[in-house]
Chain A
């Protein structure tokens, strides 16, 4: 495995909250992408944490754009670079609200067109920068400011929606495993055509966890099977090594939920439903990896 470069493309410091795993993810995304990169950022935490005009903490060009337009903008940008003969990486770095809810049609369009770009959805499972309102990516049972009694609907299965577009490269990651994330971004950028990476980004204020626990919670998400790390290259699914161990012996789901204030008082029946959803997902992924479906 290649050594992770020491260069940082985020100057000290962004206005991200203490313990933010989205900025931790972005550190590794940019290390993998290098200096010849443009970020397209729709409305999300990343559009507000860059710093205060006329200064920015981001040492690469960033194009901030409206919520629904990120993938469409990146399509145009990617075509423009191609027509100029440039190999600049075009990366959309969008939150879950801007991906699973508001930006989904632009994303679907760009994937269908075969735009050569990388779309990254960093998923903190709610609208973080506006005060943690529920999004389509919020898991069942999680309390947000708009679901004070816990969300009653299940998390939207974004990965299977994206998979239905049959794109060349798709993966899931979490910054609790930075090397895995780095390698996946490298592979995605080396693959021509559209690629998509879904990153789970534990959010200390939103998930009501202590700021020092965000990496620990990310590891637990993988160990309990709540978040499965995998990559799909040209339709071939491979489970990543941190999740292989979790699939053999899973940590109890309660270990993951009890650390988070947003799941305080969750009912046993909701925990059961979450548990069943995890088992179903793991079984489907195991079958797909074995080539049975």
Chain B
């Protein structure tokens, strides 16, 4: 069925896999993490889930999570590609 008007529909990856933008990858040190959730709260794209796992398909590598982590449990490591 064709739409009567040009209309976009919600889709994951509407802008492609934005993980390819990354130059630095966030790596979580599970020992140091105290699961406070500030990283997930401040992630502009909602790429960090309740278990504090980072969706690297979409993470743009902005580094806010590492900057705001009170335990400094997230390190930004250069992507090799």
Chain A residues within CB distance 8 Å of chain B? 6, 8, 10-21, 23-24, 27, 49-59, 178, 204, 210-216
Bound CA–CA A57/B16 (angstroms): 10
Q: Which of A13, A17, A50, A178 contacts B42 (CB 8 A)?
A: A178
Q: Which of B8, B55, B61 contacts A53 (CB 8 A)?
A: B8
Give the total of B residues in contact with A, Cβ under 8 Å: 33
Bound CA–CA A113/B11 (angstroms): 37
Bound CA–CA A55/B64 (angstroms): 27
Given that A51-B14, A51-B15, A213-B67 are contacting pairs, would A13 and B58 also be in contact in the complex, using a CB cutoff of 8 Å?
yes
Question: For the complex, is B28 an interface residue (Cβ under 8 Å from A)?
Answer: no
Chain B positions 50 through 81: 1 when the CB is less than 8 Å from some CB of chain A, otherwise 0: 10000101101111101110000000100000
Whole-angstrom distance between the Cβ of A72 and the nearest chain B Cβ: 21
Whole-angstrom distance between the Cβ of A69 and the nearest chain B Cβ: 18
Query: For residue A19, which residues in chain B have a CB less than 8 angstroms away from its CB?
Result: 44, 60, 62-64
Contacting residues of chain B (25-50) with chain A, CB-CB under 8 angstroms: 41-47, 50
Q: Name B's interface SS.
A: loop
* Best-surrounded residue of B11, B14, B50, B66 (most CB of chain A within 10 A): B14
Bound CA–CA A27/B58 (angstroms): 16
Bound CA–CA A211/B62 (angstroms): 5
6 inter-chain pairs at a CB distance below 8 angstroms, sorted by A residue, are A11-B14, A14-B45, A23-B44, A50-B14, A54-B9, A212-B63
Whole-angstrom distance between the Cβ of A15 and the nearest chain B Cβ: 4
Query: For residue A10, which residues in chain B have a CB less than 8 angstroms away from its CB?
Result: 45-46
Q: Which of A23, A53, A56, A212 contacts B45 (CB 8 A)?
A: A23
B44/A12 in contact, CB under 8 A: no
Query: For residue B68, which residues in chain A have a CB less than 8 angstroms away from its CB?
Result: 215-216
Other A-B pairs, 18, CB within 8 Å; known A12-B58, A13-B47: A10-B46, A11-B14, A13-B58, A16-B45, A17-B60, A19-B62, A19-B63, A50-B8, A51-B15, A52-B16, A53-B8, A54-B9, A56-B10, A178-B42, A211-B64, A212-B66, A214-B62, A215-B67
Bound CA–CA A21/B9 (angstroms): 24
A15/B18 in contact, CB under 8 A: yes
